Amino acid sequence: MTETQSPLAIYQAHLDKGELAYQWSPEAGRAVFYPRLVCPYSGSTALEWRVASGLGTVHATTVTHPFQRGEPYNVALVDCDEGFRLMSRVEDIDSMAVTIGMRVRFRVHKPDGEEPAYPVFIPAEGAP
């Protein structure tokens, strides 16, 4: 991965390797997510790439019921331990059983076809 790649391409390359990457702003002293060229807190372009531990906590959740097709699924906001929040879903559990405060662990979902891999979470048994 080179710095001539877009932030999205670098992020996607990490996902393809099974890693959840985010940026760190030394000037702001905080995590930056979704990947971008400029820190939204300080305006600095000096952003570092880091790989998250993959642990987080469900901040909010809802269940979506697709009209006429498909099973209900949850949509969750997950606060990662490194200090950033992302929208995802929690798998391997009934959608209605996902709760605010639940500890979760990252994994990569690789859809069939041409769609790129994306982050999802599963319950983190025994996670701190």
End residue of a domain, out of 34, 51, 68? 51
Q: Kindly state whether residues 58 and 116 are assigned to the same domain.
A: yes
Quote the pTM value: 0.86
Contact indicator for 80, 52 with CB cutoff of 8 Å: yes
Same domain, 44 and 65: no
Indicate whether 111 and 65 sit together in one domain: yes
Which CATH number fits the domain that encloses residue 62?
2.40.50.840
Statement to judge: residues 16 and 73 lie in one domain: no
90 within 8 A of 74, measured Cβ to Cβ:
yes
Tell me the pLDDT tens digit for each residue of 9-61.
999 999 999 999 999 999 999 999 999 999 999 999 999 999 999 999 999 99
In one letter, which amino acid is 42?
Answer: S
Residues forming beta bridges with residue 19, ordered by sequence position = none
- The number of folded domains in the chain is 2
Number of helices followed by number of strands (H, E) in the chain: 1, 8
pLDDT in tens, 5-19: 899 999 999 999 999
Same domain? For 46 and 70 the reply is no
Q: Give the strands of the sheet with 103-109, arranged side by side.
A: 85-88, 73-80, 55-64, 103-109, 118-123
Q: Which domain holds residue 98?
A: 53-128
